[in-house]
Amino acid sequence: MDPTAAKFIGAGLACLGMGGAGIGVGLIFANYLSGALRNPSAADGQFARLIFGFAVTEALGIFSLLVALLLLFVV
Amino acid sequence: MADPIHQFELKPILRLGHIGNTEIVFTNASLFMFGALGVIALLTLAATRGRALVPGRMQSLAEMSYEFVAATVRSSAGQEGMRFFPFVFSLFMFILVLNLFGIIPGGFTVTSHIIITFALAALVIGTVLVYGFAKHGLRFLRLFVPSGVPVYILPLVTMIEVISFLSRPISLSVRLFANMLAGHITLKVFAGFVASLGALGAAGWLGAVLPLGMTVALTALELLVAVLQAYVFTILTCIYLNDALHPGH
């Protein structure tokens, strides 16, 4: 296979990992929202934890984006 | 179409000479960082000089950002964490102002450069390591050995904790960098659609309304991301500093 074509295919495949992070971030916000609607008074106190969970989950998606960017521009 | 990567180019403004083989250049990134320092100094010093009992608009902005960061530090690192407040507040304001500078059309996004964000993350992790070992000595290593874990899975858990600790500077820096980079590339790609559709004539002008609206919506989203990522960096800094203050789980 042509190395450039393989590079682009690899970058595209790496981006699939971001879908998993998308599902994870969606689950976090969905569960936060359903919890917040059940007990609105406790919602504000959990905002920092929400953002922490979001950041940690998002990091994995960002890693796969990084792999794609490295394949496109560095390799 | 215009190259969407072009906006991240470092342009030399002032060449200051050489140290060894390394050229020292005052670039547009340096200019924007000094600009951020100026804005923060203006906000925190000049706006609060009046010390009015009923704060004006600028003074409330300064007080609100102070209270916001102080509440974040207290909630995730405890009252003891307040000794790091000047550090955390400087980090938050610096990243926030740099991110917001990036939204200004024609501006330069300093935080979209991995070397800048990695330097900030290395500063945070370095502080955690130095302070942790200085305060707790070798007991700081208990951070990697959680209490209450059965002995037969302890080696595995310790290994996972060590790997998770080592990946922190990478994830902290790459998160901010990749968010800013990806957001600004997306903005430029949609803005490029407007330009290339507009070049097609009257029908293109009608079609260009769609990407133009998308660019406006994305700018609003980027504004949210700019503030959110500054907050995420701050809260993760607080959580890592909490590990240095209280290493036992």
Pick the residue of B68, B174, B185, B229 with the most A CBs within 10 A to test the interface with A by mutation. B174
User: Is the pLDDT at B213 greater than 50, yes or no?
Assistant: yes
Cut 0.80: pTM above it: yes
- Dump pLDDT digits (tens) for B53-102: 777 888 888 889 999 999 999 988 888 889 999 999 999 999 999 999 99
B216 band by pLDDT with thresholds 50, 70 and 90: very high
- Dump pLDDT digits (tens) for B184-198: 888 888 888 888 888
Interface contact flag, B171 A62, Cβ < 8 Å: yes
A29 band by pLDDT with thresholds 50, 70 and 90: very high
Q: Return the higher-pLDDT residue of A73 and B128.
A: B128
User: Is the pLDDT at B244 greater than 50, yes or no?
Assistant: yes
Interface contact flag, A48 B235, Cβ < 8 Å: yes
What integer pLDDT is reported at residue B2 of this predicted model?
60
For chain B, list residues whose CB is within 8 angstroms of any CB belonging to chain A: 5, 72, 75-76, 171, 174-175, 178-179, 181-182, 228, 231-232, 235-236, 239
Interface contact flag, A63 B236, Cβ < 8 Å: no
Which residue among A55, A66, A69 sits closest to B232, beta carbon to beta carbon?
A55
Q: For residues B198 and B192, give the distance between their C-alpha atoms in angstroms, rounded to a whole number.
A: 10
Interface contact flag, B228 A51, Cβ < 8 Å: yes
In chain A, what is the straight-line distance between the N-terminal and C-terminal CA atoms, in Å?
A: 16
User: Is the pLDDT at B249 greater than 60, yes or no?
Assistant: no
**Minimal Cα–Cα distance from A56 to chain B, Å?**
8
Instruction: Please name the amino acid found at residue A36.
Output: A
Interface contact flag, A66 B239, Cβ < 8 Å: no
What the block records as the tokens of B126 is 């370095």
Helix axes B57-77, B209-245, angle to 10 degrees: 50
Residues contacting B216, CB < 8 A, separation 6+: none
Interface contact flag, B178 A54, Cβ < 8 Å: no
**Minimal Cα–Cα distance from A40 to chain B, Å?**
19
Interface contact flag, B182 A55, Cβ < 8 Å: no
B227 band by pLDDT with thresholds 50, 70 and 90: very high
Query: What percent of chain B clears pLDDT 90, i.e. is strictly above it?
Result: 41
Which strand (E) or helix (H) includes residue B13?
strand B12-19
Average pLDDT, chain A: 89
Q: For residues A4 and A72, give the distance between their C-alpha atoms in angstroms, rounded to a whole number.
A: 9
Interface contact flag, A58 B235, Cβ < 8 Å: no
Looking at chain A, which residue has its C-alpha nearest residue B178? A62
DSSP three-state, residue B248 = coil
Which strand (E) or helix (H) includes residue B24?
strand B22-27
What integer pLDDT is reported at residue B91 of this predicted model?
94
Which strand (E) or helix (H) includes residue B27?
strand B22-27
What integer pLDDT is reported at residue B1 of this predicted model?
47
User: Is the pLDDT at B180 greater than 50, yes or no?
Assistant: yes
Which residue among A48, A51, A66 sits closest to B178, beta carbon to beta carbon?
A66
What the block records as the tokens of B15 is 């060449």
DSSP B121: H
**Minimal Cα–Cα distance from A60 to chain B, Å?**
8
User: What ipTM was reported for this prediction?
Assistant: 0.74
Contacts of A56 in chain B (CB under 8 A): 171
- Dump pLDDT digits (tens) for B126-165: 999 999 999 888 888 888 888 888 889 889 999 998 998 9
User: Is the pLDDT at A47 greater than 80, yes or no?
Assistant: yes
Instruction: Give the CA distances from residue B50 to residues B40, B57, B61, B62, B244, in Å, rounded to whole numbers and listed in that order.
Output: 17, 12, 14, 12, 38
Question: What integer is the mean pLDDT of B5-16?
Answer: 82
User: Is the pLDDT at B108 greater than 70, yes or no?
Assistant: yes
